Amino acid sequence: MSLKKTFGDSLKLLRKGIGKTQQQVAEEMNMTRSQWASYELGTNEPNLTALTVISNYFNTPIESLLSKRFGRNVNLKMDTVANIYTKCLFVPHRAAAGYRTGFTDPIFLENLSMIDFPGLDKNATYRAFEIHGDSMPPFQSGFIVIGRQVEPDALKNLERYIVVTAHDGPVFKRVQYDFKKNGVILISDNPEFAPYLVGFDEILELWSFFAFIGFEKLLDFDKAEHVIDRLIRIEEKIDRIIPD
């Protein structure tokens, strides 16, 4: 019997132990029946997000689930736990449109890839987004920016954020409060892109810029040299948009 099959049998025992069908547990964990069935059959393995959902549902520690998964005792020392939390979900550009409605859907999130990244705080939530366009030089299309989730009251003017809006999905911009219009102005470092206002009620998530993964072949050093000049022009635009 394979290790996957052993793990699947353990999930089946957990389900039968509470006297529920595959359909019932799948619905209660916001999964499809086929998704749950694939875990029991061993044709698919849950990622960390799904493991967390299963752990909470059956009130079973993740450590215990992992022991069942690998068919042996798993002793999660503190450094091992820290390593688990160096993973964050990666949202590629092709999934950006779906992210607007799927950002709270466990099934949608489970279908995203996880990437390892050092230095993440295990008590915080991080997400990686693929950049599209050239509005934030030196970041170019194909770069990956990693953000740490924050609340709106933690925003700092002119800092860079991934702002997930109901209309556009995730966008990477600088932000400037505009309390008179009950929102924030999203500002590009590329002056060819005009700033625009987004109401607080349109903002679904906020991720403060934490780090990025860049690729040499995509770098535009000419643009990077002019970032300071562009920031000066951004401040001038803000002064015109929000007069004293």
User: Which of 46, 76, 106 is where one domain is finished?
Assistant: 76
Q: Are residues 7 and 127 in the same domain?
A: no
Which pLDDT score is estimated for 107?
Answer: 77
- What is the rounded distance in angstroms from the CA atom of residue 96 to the CA atom of residue 169? 6
In a domain, 191, yes or no: yes
What's the Cα-to-Cα distance from 122 to each of 28, 54, 85, 102, rounded to whole Å? 27, 20, 5, 23
In a domain, 97, yes or no: yes
**Mean pLDDT of successive 10-residue stretches along the chain, which has 244 residues:** 58 87 91 87 78 83 64 43 59 88 80 77 85 88 90 89 92 91 92 92 92 69 49 59 55
Phi, psi torsion values for 123, nearest 5 degrees: -90, 0
Q: End-to-end alpha-carbon separation of the chain, Å?
A: 73
For residue 202, the enclosing domain spans 87-241
In a domain, 81, yes or no: no
In a domain, 235, yes or no: yes
pTM exceeds 0.85 for this model:
no
- What is the rounded distance in angstroms from the CA atom of residue 165 to the CA atom of residue 157? 18
**Number of structural domains in the chain:** 2
